[in-house]
Amino acid sequence: MTADAAASSAATAGSAASPQRTRVVIVGAGPAGLTVANILRGASVDCVVLETESREFIEQRPRAGFLEEWAVRALEGRGLADRLLANAGVHTECEFRLAGERHRFPYADVSGHRHYVYPQPLLVTDLVREYADVRGGDIRFGVRDVEPDGIDTDRPWVTYTDARTGERVRVDCEFIAGCDGARGVTHTRMPPEHVTVARHDLGVGWLALLAEAPPSSDCVVLGIHPRGFAGHMARSPQVTRYYLECPPGDDPENWPYERVWAELHERLAADGAPPLIEGPLIEKRVLAMHNYVVEPMAYGRLFLAGDSAHLLAPIGAKGMNLAIHDALLLADALVAYCGKDDDSGLRGYSAACLRRVWQYQEFSQWLSEVFHGTSSGDPFRAGTSVARLRRALVSPAAAIGFAELFMGKDTDY
Ligand code: FAD
């Protein structure tokens, strides 16, 4: 069913008086929700996806770009990676720049795993197309005021307002998958007495930039500099993502074109480095660099997946990978329950996800100190953070530990 047809059929068929019925309502059509939806649809488990934005919007929203190899292989195993494998770039190394020197780190040699560079909007486009156009799944865009309810019963439901008709629609279900990201509603409906929300503020801001310019290096470049961290990440042959550490809550208007490029040139300077290729800045915003984890990730019939359950500042390129990890576990658990009445996956879901979540959080915190210690103004932090990086660059044992976490390999400790 197309998005528009689904939206209008929802509006006609559904109202508070005549609820619709499905097995799983998935709130949010990001990487997590769409992965769950595709796997359920592939296993003939009835589901409905609700998304506040339009299809065009989510297919263009720029965000992540790096997928870990295990995630790509898992998507491939579900028939969800054809276009990704045909079009993604493959990265095997990154480069640290420190005190004017370049240090290549060949993480694929060390860990046996690679990164796939595939912009999140392309992955979302592929997953929507597969779910809605190929597998005929029900996805409703532009919904308003989504409200999950009855999550502590075995017949929960979700209501929403159809934006075009203004009608309130109710969908009865057995499970709700809360995949609506950090600003969504589902995680706020977990009863506070049953969950802990662990938070960590990194104490810095990052100016996130997309430049209409080809990459200036064949790999990710991570600049450690007394003026602040700077990062360079390829997105496509035409577009490159850059990051600049800035004060928390800084105004992007404080960063005109000339200042951005002057800081990038200075912070990423190193002997023998190819010059940065400048280009117009097509995205410029300041990220709040904080992390959180909602624990447990499930209550009653509500299961959280992705950023709704845990947020990682984009240090180490982890968020989309974790969202996919949750989605795979949740979808498999729902298929087992719906097909074989086996609830073991659902019972173990939160604990299984959280093992990887906490490993990634710890890695992000470790790497944050490497990135930000030098510019902290604290000479002790500056010294220890550089020592931390030099150890990973020089000691084979330390390099393996770093590379395995960077690639998300064997992290279910
Ligand atoms: P989202 O992608 O946020 O999807 C949630 C969806 O739910 C959205 O479409 C939203 O519109 C919808 N929604 C919200 N509220 C509601 C509601 N009430 N009802 C219905 N729908 C709702 N991660 C990486 O792994 N690698 C990277 O390189 C990387 N770089 C990043 C760079 C930036 C600048 C940013 C901001 C993030 C980056 N991330 C990266 C993180 C990554 O983008 C997120 O972790 C990922 O999008 C999480 O996917 P998700 O499906 O959980 O949530």
55 Cα: distance to centroid of ligand 1 (angstroms): 15
Residue 218, both tokens: 């064949």
Q: Decide if 369 contacts 388 (C-beta within 8 A).
A: yes
**Closest atom of ligand 1 relative to the 31 alpha carbon:** 51
Residue 373 is assigned to a structural domain of this protein: no
Smallest Cα–Cα separation from 50: which of 36, 60, 63, 67? 36
Domain tally, the chain: 2
pLDDT of residue 172: 98
Residue 412 is assigned to a structural domain of this protein: no
Residue 180 is assigned to a structural domain of this protein: yes
Smallest Cα–Cα separation from 304: which of 357, 265, 233? 357
Residues 97 and 107 reside in one and the same domain: yes
Residues 327 and 385 reside in one and the same domain: no
* Residue to substitute in 320, 328, 367 for testing ligand 1 pocket (most ligand atoms within 8 angstroms of CB): 320
Residue 152 is assigned to a structural domain of this protein: yes
Q: Decide if 236 contacts 294 (C-beta within 8 A).
A: no
Residues 144 and 77 reside in one and the same domain: yes
Residues 132 and 164 reside in one and the same domain: yes
Query: Residues enclosing ligand 1, CB less than 6 A?
Result: 27-33, 50-53, 58, 63-66, 120, 146, 179-181, 183-185, 208, 306-307, 314, 317-321, 323
Q: CA 104 to CA 81: how far, in whole Å? A: 29
pLDDT of residue 7: 41
120 Cα: distance to centroid of ligand 1 (angstroms): 9
pLDDT of residue 17: 47
Residue 284 is assigned to a structural domain of this protein: yes
Residue 367 is assigned to a structural domain of this protein: no
Strands 24-27 and 47-50: parallel
**Closest atom of ligand 1 relative to the 186 alpha carbon:** 18
Residues 208 and 76 reside in one and the same domain: no
Residue 334 is assigned to a structural domain of this protein: yes
Residues 265 and 312 reside in one and the same domain: no
Residues 131 and 40 reside in one and the same domain: yes
Which residue CA neighbors atom 38 of ligand 1 most closely?
Answer: 64
pLDDT of residue 97: 98
The CATH number that applies at residue 170 is: 3.50.50.60
Residues 57 and 142 reside in one and the same domain: yes
Q: Position 137: which residue type?
A: G
Which residue CA neighbors atom 17 of ligand 1 most closely?
Answer: 184
pLDDT in tens, the chain (413 residues): 333 344 434 433 444 447 799 999 999 999 999 999 999 999 999 999 999 999 999 999 988 889 999 999 999 999 999 999 999 999 999 999 999 999 999 999 999 999 999 999 999 999 999 999 999 999 999 999 999 999 999 999 999 999 889 999 999 999 999 999 999 999 999 999 999 999 999 999 999 999 999 999 999 999 999 999 999 998 889 999 999 999 999 999 999 999 999 999 999 999 999 999 999 999 999 999 999 999 999 999 999 999 999 999 999 899 999 999 999 999 999 999 999 999 999 999 999 999 999 999 999 999 999 999 999 999 999 999 999 999 999 999 999 999 999 999 876 66
Expressed as residue numbers, the domain containing 223 is 91-115+203-289+378-406
Residue 297 is assigned to a structural domain of this protein: yes
Residues 55 and 124 reside in one and the same domain: yes
Smallest Cα–Cα separation from 208: which of 322, 63, 307, 67? 63
Residues 37 and 164 reside in one and the same domain: yes
Residues 280 and 296 reside in one and the same domain: no
Give the pTM.
0.93
Strands 220-224 and 94-98: parallel
Smallest Cα–Cα separation from 29: which of 308, 280, 245? 308
Smallest Cα–Cα separation from 191: which of 351, 303, 295, 299? 299
The CATH number that applies at residue 276 is: 3.30.9.10
Q: CA 310 to CA 321: how far, in whole Å? A: 12
42 φ, ψ to 5°? Answer: -65, -25
181 Cα: distance to centroid of ligand 1 (angstroms): 5
Which residue CA neighbors atom 33 of ligand 1 most closely?
Answer: 63
Q: CA 402 to CA 93: how far, in whole Å? A: 13
**Closest atom of ligand 1 relative to the 306 alpha carbon:** 52
Residues 295 and 284 reside in one and the same domain: no
275 Cα: distance to centroid of ligand 1 (angstroms): 32
